Chain A
């Protein structure tokens, strides 16, 4: 279990890097997915373009409206970053569920999103929060919403010559709360099913609601029609249970080694009810 040969390229700037990436010349971030695949010889790229030497890509900043997380910011640094903790707490909460500390010290935010593992938490969180991804190539830059970036299992909108440079996550408003909930068999294992949600409230009534499922076998799935069930109401356990019925009727069909499609539907339903409840409770206890 050792990688096949490849050429190693270590650009110092983004511009240099953009010259180097291409069809079989892949960006290397933390390597926590890519090197594992290479050790198993499931991936045999001709060249790796190590992005670690480009300092700009690790920056985390607050521009007033968005928190900008550099693609190469390590997951461990991001989860403890005070800007992230204060302004996009769901991102920190989510990253703590990714693998283990020993993985997150090297694994990056951008690498996780670019890998687009269907069982991964972070893409779902980015979809929930309405984040935008900034991509660069020699041809120029573009910005696309998370929901369009993730196109399927291990499938993204990235072209081979593109690099994900940073992610812009809207700051959580004082009237918003968010949460994440997943079913895993043991620490660090990939989720069997997971949900993430955001609720906005005005006085006691719900202004906006969003619920996203992950581990659907494909891209994160946003539950449809949720607003009609929740918005404009004072929420209580009845509303959450009603919302979870919606989930049961919509959850994507995904059957695998760990759960059948029917079972997964049932788990999604239970987790959805809980995650909404948990999000709502955060208003009560005054936490973020």
Chain B
């Protein structure tokens, strides 16, 4: 653990801000390489079919066009994008071996980066146009004639399960891509002994991550040294490098992947993409640098979507409102493929019980492939779906029992004296789930107090006649998942500290937070620390920033590496001064003997002596640097409670959020301002998922709203100021005691807001079974309820 800190725990202002504020950020499209040509992808506008012919003859004649490729041209040059350990696959074997259900399986498909034969969703790449002008490549693309013989598309995931459904992959037995089954306790007895059983279906809609910076790739193969450099707006430069190495058959040491400033990711930049492979291949083929910037339409039709789960959930309760058992059978529509396998569905399973004591549980997950954009985790990654199902069914059960939903929730929370609490099922990494830290009742009570002190909770209508309601939802989040993250810490001969990490940011403030950790560990001024991220040449192995993991895993790695550097310093100095290393203290860049501050040296001097040829280098390993790969034992659990207070206009279906409360426990806060920023951003996404965001497909598999006019992102006027409180119970699982926070804010808002809407409309008796609660959906529910009462 850190001793006295100067930086960790305080709101150090961000190192990255200056360049971003004055327009000097270095985002992907800002990188200019001379001779770089533009790539434009021709994509399928048909959801399901066989490509019969592609006529590029007119397009080829357009001036400034360098080359046009089709799938057939590139087929032989590429290995398929076989799922590898570079994505969710890492833990799969272990997970399946511990699941103990013979029926569980996963089928994953080798994807080809460009269509060869069968098209499986609108947006798949059919041809590639390369040219010297970004306008002209679009002109040429318009002249390409693609003939696709249509096959009946599979759009509704429920129909996908039917025997007569067309198949997405002809050699598969059916359209199921995955089946998982987890149980604990005596579920039959729980339901047999129940006072009340309620069952409902809940749907979390299909979402697009929509960072404001779309994806993009620049690939530059330099013939003279046979080195491929790829800049990609990605969350995972190291796994992308591994993918490229396999697909292109290149040694990974000849590939450098750089994630420059990245304008938001939220999961949609956390898988390797076909465009990274195609741009690289074309750069190698043509021996020129090439660049592709995703446009907003492409973002909606080729960057992964997320959520899209249908839960049939059933809960058994006793008369007092205690949970006896929980059954959930959910279906996930994973679109044309499921690049991260179990990650999203298993996260749902692992987080379903959440903060509650659930004695018996039986959960099955089925994923099906359909003719839509592939599904992969988006901020929250399976957890918002779990909380939406669980915290909604709790409210329905409370209603049924005539109890207050807040009381029922409070009653079922895992008591603080039960911590650490063993849930009785395994996590996605195969380790048993243990809530290592936290105080759920205190979290809940704090939220309720905040609510009571901030508004009139008895008010049911406002002056314009809108209905007012309250809703709560709670969550746990396994954070800081492995397998590992690396940090390299070096004190250079000028005394300045260089920190390189594998995790790379998309706005989370890595250059600040990890500088805080390094500065405090080494006891130096933060101005002397420079953090480098997102470059596979800066540190050989890495994973990426996703899954609320960087602070925990990379933070621990930085701490451990810096600690080892300091040890190295002390051992060498102690050796020279013939004292014990324990007698030495490091403070503000000075090393001195405890109690005798006069006897001192500086980090700078020590570093110089460690330079090859220097005094210390003779005796110890040269170079004052350490590289650490920190592997977490398993995840550490953050937790929290959200309460929403909403006003509902029952005539127009408009919902306004009046008050939004967050009480969160992510352990000690490394940088409170950054943590609150992460929460606010997360909540805004949760509000988006609760009220606005859904990608819809028509019966032909055509996306109906692939644009920012009809796919509505939350705007400033839709997000209220938040009331945020923190509990800081430390995690025992890492040296800093921290838990991740990146996704937390996104997890409970759909459930809390849906509960609040339902509560507001108690008088009418409306039930909310789906998010987003759009005016269309809400008015429909109100209408249905009214008709049912007639």
Q: Once the chains bind, are B714 and A258 in contact (CB under 8 Å)?
A: no
Q: Once the chains bind, are A192 and B775 in contact (CB under 8 Å)?
A: yes
Which of A4, A40, A190, A259 interacts with B775 by CB under 8 Å? A259
Give chain B nearest CB distance to A83 CB in angstroms: 30
Query: Hey, what's the 0/1 contact readout for A256-280 against B, CB within 8 Å counting as 1?
Result: 0111101100110111000000000
Q: Counting CB contacts under 8 A, is B763 at the interface? A: no
Q: Counting CB contacts under 8 A, is A2 at the interface? A: yes
Tell me whether chain A's interface is mostly helix, strand or loop, or mixed: loop
Which of B654, B709, B713, B716 interacts with A183 by CB under 8 Å? B654
Give chain B nearest CB distance to A251 CB in angstroms: 14
Cα distance A258–B774 in the bound complex, in angstroms: 8
Q: Once the chains bind, are A186 and B717 in contact (CB under 8 Å)?
A: yes
Q: Counting CB contacts under 8 A, is A185 at the interface? A: yes
For residues 705 through 755 of chain B, which have their beta carbon under 8 Å from a beta carbon of chain A?
Answer: 705, 709-710, 712-718
Q: Counting CB contacts under 8 A, is B418 at the interface? A: no
CB contact under 8 A between A187 and B652, given known A1-B296, A4-B139:
no
Residue from the set A4, A5, A267 with the largest chain B CB neighbour count within 10 Å: A267
Cα distance A3–B134 in the bound complex, in angstroms: 10
For residues 29 through 78 of chain A, which have their beta carbon under 8 Å from a beta carbon of chain B?
Answer: 40-41
Give chain A nearest CB distance to B205 CB in angstroms: 14
Kindly list chain B residues whose C-beta atoms are within 8 Å of the C-beta of A160: none
Which of B134, B138, B714 interacts with A186 by CB under 8 Å? B714
Q: Counting CB contacts under 8 A, is A189 at the interface? A: yes
Cα distance A40–B783 in the bound complex, in angstroms: 38
Q: Once the chains bind, are A189 and B712 in contact (CB under 8 Å)?
A: yes
Give chain B nearest CB distance to A18 CB in angstroms: 30
Cα distance A187–B714 in the bound complex, in angstroms: 9
Q: Once the chains bind, are A185 and B775 in contact (CB under 8 Å)?
A: yes
Give chain B nearest CB distance to A238 CB in angstroms: 16
Kindly list chain A residues whose C-beta atoms are within 8 Å of the C-beta of B713: 186
Q: Once the chains bind, are B779 and A266 in contact (CB under 8 Å)?
A: yes
Q: Once the chains bind, are B717 and A1 in contact (CB under 8 Å)?
A: no
Q: Counting CB contacts under 8 A, is B33 at the interface? A: no
Cα distance A2–B783 in the bound complex, in angstroms: 44
Q: Counting CB contacts under 8 A, is B320 at the interface? A: no
Kindly list chain A residues whose C-beta atoms are within 8 Å of the C-beta of B138: 1-2, 4, 41
Kindly list chain B residues whose C-beta atoms are within 8 Å of the C-beta of A266: 651, 779
Give chain B nearest CB distance to A179 CB in angstroms: 15
Kindly list chain A residues whose C-beta atoms are within 8 Å of the C-beta of B716: 187
Cα distance A3–B717 in the bound complex, in angstroms: 32
Kindly list chain B residues whose C-beta atoms are within 8 Å of the C-beta of A185: 654, 692, 712, 774-775
Cα distance A266–B710 in the bound complex, in angstroms: 21
Cα distance A113–B134 in the bound complex, in angstroms: 33
Q: Counting CB contacts under 8 A, is A225 at the interface? A: no
Kindly list chain A residues whose C-beta atoms are within 8 Å of the C-beta of B135: 2-3, 5
Q: Once the chains bind, are B715 and A187 in contact (CB under 8 Å)?
A: yes
Q: Counting CB contacts under 8 A, is A232 at the interface? A: no
Q: Once the chains bind, are B692 and A186 in contact (CB under 8 Å)?
A: yes
Looking across the interface, which residue of chain B has its beta carbon closest to that of A262?
Answer: B783
Kindly list chain B residues whose C-beta atoms are within 8 Å of the C-beta of A1: 138, 295-297
For residues 130 through 182 of chain A, which have their beta carbon under 8 Å from a beta carbon of chain B?
Answer: none
Which of A2, A3, A186, A260 interacts with B712 by CB under 8 Å? A186
Q: Once the chains bind, are B717 and A257 in contact (CB under 8 Å)?
A: no
Q: Once the chains bind, are B779 and A186 in contact (CB under 8 Å)?
A: no
Kindly list chain A residues whose C-beta atoms are within 8 Å of the C-beta of B704: 257
CB contact under 8 A between A263 and B653, given known A186-B692, A258-B775:
yes
Give chain A nearest CB distance to B592 CB in angstroms: 58
Give chain B nearest CB distance to A14 CB in angstroms: 31
Kindly list chain B residues whose C-beta atoms are within 8 Å of the C-beta of A41: 138, 142
Q: Once the chains bind, are A259 and B710 in contact (CB under 8 Å)?
A: no
Query: Hey, what's the 0/1 contact readout for B640-665 against A, CB within 8 Å counting as 1?
Result: 00000000010111100000000000
Q: Counting CB contacts under 8 A, is B696 at the interface? A: yes
Cα distance A56–B718 in the bound complex, in angstroms: 40
Query: Hey, what's the 0/1 contact readout for B758-776 against A, CB within 8 Å counting as 1?
Result: 0000000000000000111
Give chain B nearest CB distance to A253 CB in angstroms: 16
Query: Hey, what's the 0/1 contact readout for B286-302 against A, CB within 8 Å counting as 1?
Result: 00000000011100000
Q: Once the chains bind, are A259 and B779 in contact (CB under 8 Å)?
A: yes
Q: Counting CB contacts under 8 A, is B159 at the interface? A: no
Kindly list chain B residues whose C-beta atoms are within 8 Å of the C-beta of A267: 651-653, 775, 779
Cα distance A257–B696 in the bound complex, in angstroms: 9
For residues 239 through 254 of chain B, which have their beta carbon under 8 Å from a beta carbon of chain A?
Answer: none
Q: Counting CB contacts under 8 A, is B567 at the interface? A: no
Q: Once the chains bind, are B710 and A187 in contact (CB under 8 Å)?
A: no
Cα distance A275–B696 in the bound complex, in angstroms: 32
Q: Once the chains bind, are A186 and B715 in contact (CB under 8 Å)?
A: yes
Give chain B nearest CB distance to A156 CB in angstroms: 21
Query: Hey, what's the 0/1 contact readout for A73-101 against B, CB within 8 Å counting as 1?
Result: 00000000000000000000000000000
Looking across the interface, which residue of chain B has its beta carbon closest to that of A185?
Answer: B712
Q: Counting CB contacts under 8 A, is B780 at the interface? A: yes
Give chain A nearest CB distance to B698 CB in angstroms: 10
Cα distance A185–B653 in the bound complex, in angstroms: 10
Cα distance A4–B141 in the bound complex, in angstroms: 12
Kindly list chain B residues whose C-beta atoms are within 8 Å of the C-beta of A271: 652
Kindly list chain A residues whose C-beta atoms are within 8 Å of the C-beta of B710: 257-258
For residues 38 through 62 of chain B, which have their beta carbon under 8 Å from a beta carbon of chain A?
Answer: none
Give chain A nearest CB distance to B127 CB in angstroms: 17
Q: Once the chains bind, are A270 and B295 in contact (CB under 8 Å)?
A: no
Residue from the set B296, B709, B714, B775 with the largest chain A CB neighbour count within 10 Å: B775
Kindly list chain B residues whose C-beta atoms are within 8 Å of the C-beta of A4: 138-139, 142
Cα distance A266–B775 in the bound complex, in angstroms: 12
Looking across the interface, which residue of chain B has its beta carbon closest to that of A189?
Answer: B712
Kindly list chain A residues whose C-beta atoms are within 8 Å of the C-beta of B654: 183, 185
Cα distance A186–B779 in the bound complex, in angstroms: 17
Q: Once the chains bind, are B296 and A263 in contact (CB under 8 Å)?
A: no
Kindly list chain A residues whose C-beta atoms are within 8 Å of the C-beta of B653: 259, 263, 267
Give chain B nearest CB distance to A3 CB in angstroms: 8
Q: Once the chains bind, are A263 and B712 in contact (CB under 8 Å)?
A: no
For residues 677 through 706 of chain B, which have their beta carbon under 8 Å from a beta carbon of chain A?
Answer: 692, 696, 704-705
Kindly list chain A residues whose C-beta atoms are within 8 Å of the C-beta of B709: 189-190
Kindly list chain B residues whose C-beta atoms are within 8 Å of the C-beta of A257: 696, 704-705, 710
Cα distance A7–B738 in the bound complex, in angstroms: 61
Q: Once the chains bind, are A270 and B652 in contact (CB under 8 Å)?
A: yes
Query: Hey, what's the 0/1 contact readout for B98-115 against A, CB within 8 Å counting as 1?
Result: 000000000000000000
Q: Once the chains bind, are A260 and B776 in contact (CB under 8 Å)?
A: yes
Kindly list chain A residues whose C-beta atoms are within 8 Å of the C-beta of B780: 260, 263
Cα distance A266–B651 in the bound complex, in angstroms: 7
Cα distance A270–B139 in the bound complex, in angstroms: 48
Cα distance A3–B136 in the bound complex, in angstroms: 10
Kindly list chain B residues whose C-beta atoms are within 8 Å of the C-beta of A2: 134-135, 138
Kindly list chain A residues whose C-beta atoms are within 8 Å of the C-beta of B652: 183, 192-193, 267, 270-271
Kindly list chain A residues whose C-beta atoms are within 8 Å of the C-beta of B715: 186-189
Q: Once the chains bind, are A263 and B776 in contact (CB under 8 Å)?
A: yes
For residues 138 through 174 of chain B, which have their beta carbon under 8 Å from a beta carbon of chain A?
Answer: 138-139, 142
Some 6 contacts from A to B, beta carbons below 8 A apart, are: A3-B135, A185-B775, A186-B692, A186-B715, A259-B653, A263-B653
Question: Given A186-B712, A186-B718, 15 other A-B contacts at CB below 8 A?
Answer: A183-B652, A183-B775, A185-B712, A185-B775, A186-B715, A187-B717, A187-B718, A188-B715, A189-B709, A259-B776, A259-B779, A267-B775, A267-B779, A269-B651, A270-B649
Q: List the 6 closest A-B pairs by CB distance, nearest first.
A: A270-B651, A186-B715, A187-B717, A187-B715, A1-B295, A263-B779
